[in-house]
A and B are shown apart, each in its own frame.
Chain A
Amino acid sequence: MALKIVKGSIDRMFDKNLQDLVRGIRNHKEDEAKYISTCIDEIKQELKQDNIAVKANAVCKLTYVRSLTFSCNTLFCCTRIGYLAASQCFHESTDVIMLTTNQIRKDLSSPNQYDTGVALTGLSCFVTPDLARDLANDIMTLMSHTKPYIRKKAVLIMYKVFLKYPESLRPAFPRLKEKLEDPDPGVQSAAVNVICELARRNPKNYLSLAPLFFKLMTSSTNNWVLIKIIKLFGALTPLEPRLGKKLIEPLTNLIHSSDSELIVPLSCIAVLISLSSGMPNHSASHVVCVIVKYLGLLAMSKILKTHPKSVQSHKDLILQCLDDKDESIRLRALDLLYGMVSKKNLMEIVKKLMLHVDKAEGTTYRDELLTKIIDICSQSNYQYITNFEWYISILVELTRLEGTRHGHLIASQMLDVAIRVKAIRAFAVAQMATLLDNAHLLTGNTQRNGICEVLYAAAWICGEFSEHLENPLQTLEAMLRPKVATLPGHIQAVYVQNAAKLFATVLRSQEGNTDSTTAQETSQLMIDRLPLFVQSANLEVQERASCILQLVKYIQKLQQKDVEVAEEVSALFAGELNPVAPKAQKKVPVPEGLDLDAWINEPPSESESEDEKPKAIFTKEEPKHSRPRHTEVDEKELARRREARKQEQANNPFYIKASPSSQKVYQETPGVEHIPVVQIDLSVPLKVPGLPMSDQYVKLEEERRQKERAEKKKKEKKKRKEKRSGRGKKHDSGPESEEDITPAHMVDIVTEEMPEVGRSGMNFTEKSSKHKKKKQKKEKEEKEKKKKKKHHHHHHHSDGGGEESVQNGTVEEEEPLPVSLCACVCDIQGNLQDGSQVVVSVIFENKCNSFLKSMEFNVLDSLNSKLQRPEGAGPHDGLTVPFQLPPGVSNEARFVFTVQSIVMPQKLKGTLTFIVKNEDSSTHEKLDFKLHFTCTSYLITTPCYSDAFAKLLESGDLKGSSVRLEGVNMPFHHLLARICFHHHFSVVERIDSCASMYSRSIQGHHVCLLVKTADQTVSIDAKCDEPSLLGNVLDEIKQTFSQC
């Protein structure tokens, strides 16, 4: 057996892979049939082998041979199987794909619609950028196939093509848009599908289609289309608020027309239907309640973002969902709870959640619950927490969870709260000490990231805030237990460091006593226990431990000489670590005299620099005068301002300044005296770890609030008594509003650390706004200058043959006002039905910050081409552009021109007038442009079969001409794709480095090309029944390639 395998793999070295096979077939021109049959025999052999790779290779080859042989036969069943196999086993990196291009192209143009269909389906599964580029044009042509079945598939596959070859989007888009109004509902739905997918990626560009979709939505009866359109509007409405208002009516109509079974008398579900589908579900039989429930929750989470109040009233309902046996529903409900909490209901909700944590089965769900609890509590800087002791005890309770992976999360919360809420520290330290004391309960769980992370936080808090510890010595002993050595390294390191901090505190308390032996005993304890850590494998632990060990030994020596060391030891750890806001740097005032916007060196000389010089001197001198004045003001006002600020901070519930007076501020706050902090401290000594204590806070909180309310009522009564005279009702607040709940503890909100300085700040802003105005003026001047320059520049361009126009294959418009409006022509298309019409699509984009309206588009007609104006309009009247442009928005308009002769390119001059509307003013602006009709724009991509092509050439009606392009450095298929795209040709046949192409003008001229390439030289032989048209087209092609 083993021998067989070895033999197999040796054989394999000489196996043919697919490339070999293809090469082989091509080399055996004379006896292909024989060669293929031997190959098939080989494949059979390979298939029998054990090696899976060999088999795969064999199947690959077989697929190729199949498609090759069958394609000659055009048997549908075989094509079908071939494509099915290909769609299953090809992917982007399969190298066979390169070989398939021609095969696919042939199938695409097959007269049998199902061959084409099957090819499209197959292609949709393995489009590569190369295939997309080469076949885009063929598929474009198929989009206007006579059979809706093909049209549908072609439209759908375009999305895949766009993904792989984004350049094709522009030329294909107008046609895609047409398909939205296709008579066949299938094609329509496919087009909607594609545009929805596109819009999901970049909704802004598709705003202009909104009216069209709106029409579709009200007229279509296809559920699928409706769903998609509603989804699309969901993406569009945030960009265009007016749309939302318009949508309300048709959406509600939809809901009412839909099946009654879906209308459950729950408001949330009514909204869900409008949001997530609006779908009249026909077979209501399977609409199970759970689905509605799930979608309802989903919809509510969307509503929550905009109307939190309306969802909050369903709180009970959502809490019930937590009991659902379906995990999907529970998770959704959890998501919702996050947004629903308020100061009022936080404790209640968390209590419910804690109950669920206890009941929950499966660690994933429990972990999810845990993170949600923490998320809910900590959201927006602990905004909803009124009592942090409650929160700490919740956190401690959470540590009891078995097997959770989120110890780290809990730990960071503990640290965060203990550091930022100063008032809570005493309580937190006590809790942490208990945790440390009972560490053995936690360390039983040695899973990674396990709960033992909490000890990290506990140790740090106990060490850093050790002055709050009731019995530091006991904690110190707890931290130096031998069991600690089993903890992960980083935790041990924290233990060691904080043991030192504790040691300092203990020393200080003991040295006050007369008996010096206790202090020495403590040192001895350290010296006994620390060597355990010195031996640690973890470097960090080792380093810290040996360092501290030496220190303690030295201290002991001093102690034996009766030297007081406590002060010095604690000085080691003096100073408080204060949190710093990430944006703190911004608040540091810029030193006076430092102008960050000023040039360090003289800027490169400009015409205006002369004016500025004296000014610069002036501003330099000014600060010197102002500085003393400034400080004077400071000294006078500082005290007063400080007072004011303190007052403000005292009233701000989320602010505790990092000053020693914070405690006082806390006590001064009216209404807080009633917090039974002391009582709680008394109740803490129940030192059973993880006793579910959080409940009591709920009760306490209730009491507190009641008291507060009573207090308030008293006050209000008083007030009313005082203000009986009239408007007493003003303060009659409801039962209990959000703002009424004063938090028991306050968080340092770091991000808001430095408030804006009162009045002086105002002055500054005023100054700067003045500055701004000046700047704006200057900018305006500059802009105008630039504008002029641009004008020149552009004229130059258009004189030079309209380079840009070639790039687009069509026409380009100048854009002299880069700041306000950019208009570019995306497409010029001939109209096949009417040989004298050309449609120009122009995209207008508003690039300034003002609103553009009343746009009028006018073109100076020439003898040959005329802008089609509505009846009754004079020959010089402009056409109104049928939309207005808010800032940053673009939209597309189409204009129809009538053209008489198409054999020459032409340029038309035109103007666009519009009104720029600012908040305070509106100005009338004008924009000149040139429209460049190339001959290419009169050509229309038309497929042609090779036999018809041959007949055409034979007929002898065509006159020839040729052109040579030198130095074209691109692969042949790129070149062809380029000609196809930019000049509207289609490839008739391609043989190696030689291809024939065809196109037709709107007036029925045939244009045939024979393109050959060799050594970077491309020669194009062309024939056409209209020589001057041909000459111009060839010139344009030449330009296209001279650009690259």
Chain B
Amino acid sequence: MIKAILIFNNHGKPRLIRFYQYFAEDLQQQIIRETFHLVSKRDDNVCNFLEGGSLIGGSDYKLIYRHYATLYFVFCVDSSESELGILDLIQVFVETLDKCFENVCELDLIFHMDKVHYILQEVVMGGMVLETNMNEIVAQVELQNRMEKSEGGLSAAPARAVSAVKNMNLPEIPRNINIGDINIKVPSLSPF
């Protein structure tokens, strides 16, 4: 299983963060910081495997990373994944990005965060490797993008949303809502 996928630049600014195991927000921050610290001090000509950032887990976990120009691609995996396989997967992912964005650069990741996520979703699903064939990935992403375009994109969405809300009928809401359920709503007091 893949536990997390992190992409950050040479200065440690995160560009894409995907955790497949739940961590609290601050812990996530800490993991990113630590990982950057571990990875960034390594030369480019040393090997691409690193054992155990202390945060994501014990000795079973490995960081597998590659460094491309300004970006680090880091995968945190457990022992069921093959190191070389994951290394190859990173390459596939980056090549796919390159194909979808035409000469991908860091700016693409900043401005099209959602698209990067969609591409990643076609490669890895819930921490399991979904597809390793680049052509297949690109084809699926393109198809979905085309579909989105045919709907007029997100810019048309608000207008549609309003009309949708207007026309909305929720048949499954029964009429007999328990009176006891609504009469007194005690607002949950926040602790401060």
Which residues of A does B touch, CB under 8 Å? 9, 12-15, 17, 20, 23, 26-27, 29, 32-33, 36-37, 53, 66, 69-70, 72-73, 75-78, 80-81, 84, 91-92, 102, 114, 118, 120-121, 123-125, 127, 149, 152-153, 156-157, 159-160, 185-186, 189-190, 193-194, 196-197, 200, 222-224, 227-228, 231, 276-277, 279, 281, 283, 286, 288, 290-291, 293-295, 298, 325-326, 328-329, 331, 991-992
Contact = CB atoms under 8 A, between A and B. Distances in A.
Interface string B116-134: 0110010001111111110
SS of A interface (majority):
helix
Contacts of B121: 84, 118, 121
A84 B84 CA distance: 29
B125 A153 contact: yes
Which 8 pairs, one residue from A and one from B, show the smallest C-beta to C-beta distance? A124-B126, A326-B46, A290-B47, A91-B22, A77-B148, A294-B47, A73-B164, A33-B165
Nearest to A29: B173
B45 A290 contact: yes
B188 interface: yes
Interface in B176-192: 177, 181-182, 185, 187-190, 192
A304 B157 CA distance: 62
Contacts of A114: 143-144, 147
A156 B160 CA distance: 34
From B114, B153, B164, residue with most partner A Cβ within 10 Å: B164
A391 B63 CA distance: 37
Contacts of B147: 76-77, 114
B48 interface: yes
A37 B165 contact: yes
Contacts of B1: 197
A532 B188 CA distance: 61
B183 to A, nearest CB: 11
Contacts of A36: 165
Nearest to B149: A77
Nearest to B17: A88
Contacts of A153: 125, 130
Contact of A121 (B126, B133, B165, B189): B126
A228 B82 CA distance: 8
B154 A224 contact: no
Contacts of B91: 283, 286
From B130, B157, B177, B181, residue with most partner A Cβ within 10 Å: B130
B87 interface: yes
Contacts of B102: none
Given A114-B147, A121-B126, A295-B84, A77 B45 contact: no
Given A114-B144, A325-B43, A77 B174 contact: no
Contact of B83 (A124, A286, A295): A295
B98 interface: no
Contact of B82 (A78, A102, A227): A227
Contacts of A102: 172
Given A84-B118, A120-B125, 5 more contacts: A37-B162, A70-B157, A70-B161, A223-B85, A224-B85
A991 B52 CA distance: 49
Contact of A156 (B43, B49, B125, B153): B125
Given A75-B157, A197-B80, A291-B87, A152 B168 contact: no
Contacts of A328: 46-47, 49-51
From A14, A32, A53, A69, residue with most partner B Cβ within 10 Å: A69
B132 A224 contact: yes
Nearest to B160: A73
A200 B49 contact: no
A12 B84 contact: no
B140 interface: yes
B132 A125 contact: no
A13 B189 contact: yes
Contacts, number: 189
A81 B114 contact: yes
15 contacts: A26-B177, A29-B173, A32-B170, A69-B161, A69-B164, A69-B165, A114-B147, A153-B125, A190-B128, A276-B82, A277-B84, A288-B48, A294-B83, A328-B49, A328-B51
A776 to B, nearest CB: 43
A27 B181 CA distance: 10
B88 A281 contact: yes
Interface in B22-65: 22, 42-43, 45-51
Contacts of B85: 223-224, 227, 277, 279
Contacts of A295: 83-84
A77 B83 contact: no
Nearest to A184: B136
A231 B22 contact: no
Given A32-B168, A77-B157, A157 B126 contact: yes
B46 A290 contact: yes
Contacts of B161: 66, 69-70, 73, 78
B166 interface: yes
A860 to B, nearest CB: 46
A159 B20 CA distance: 14
A152 B130 CA distance: 7
A76 B165 contact: no
Contact of A149 (B140, B151, B162): B140
A197 B128 CA distance: 9
B157 A152 contact: no
A77 B126 contact: no
A188 to B, nearest CB: 12
Contacts of B47: 288, 290-291, 293-294, 326, 328-329
B185 A325 contact: no
Contact of A125 (B20, B143, B173, B187): B20
A715 to B, nearest CB: 49
A157 B117 CA distance: 18
B87 to A, nearest CB: 7
A294 B49 contact: yes
A992 B178 CA distance: 13
A121 B190 contact: no
